[in-house]
Amino acid sequence: MTLAQENHLSELIREIRSKLAHKYRAGQAEHGGDLWERVPLIDDVIDEATDQMTYALTLKWQLERVKKLIEDARDAAPDNPVTTQKLLTRAMSYL
């Protein structure tokens, strides 16, 4: 992998590790007990998957709205349309 890819991976691992530790401790404080002894865990998994789908769909709608706003900005930019279009087109590629 490239140095940039290795750096990206390291950043992801650092962020995931931090979030996991925080989330695990918060869950422990809220629910107590040992997670590996929690039964039936499948109900918790289904609840989390439902939450995740809700968040994902809402984020998708938010990003669609952002894309529309960027398109409107591109269409309305009178001062430097070439630069404006290049920058906004690049921003839209991340969506």
How do residues 37-62 score in pLDDT, each as one tens digit? 988 899 999 999 999 999 999 999 99
Do 30 and 66 lie in one domain? The reply is no
In which domain, by residue range, is 51 found?
39-95
User: What pLDDT score was predicted for residue 37?
Assistant: 92
Do 43 and 20 lie in one domain? The reply is no
Do 52 and 29 lie in one domain? The reply is no
Q: pTM for the complete prediction?
A: 0.67
pLDDT in tens, 75-90: 777 777 888 888 888 8
DSSP-assigned states of every residue in 48-64: HHHHHHHHHHHHHHHHH
Helices 81-93 + 41-76 axis angle, to 10: 170
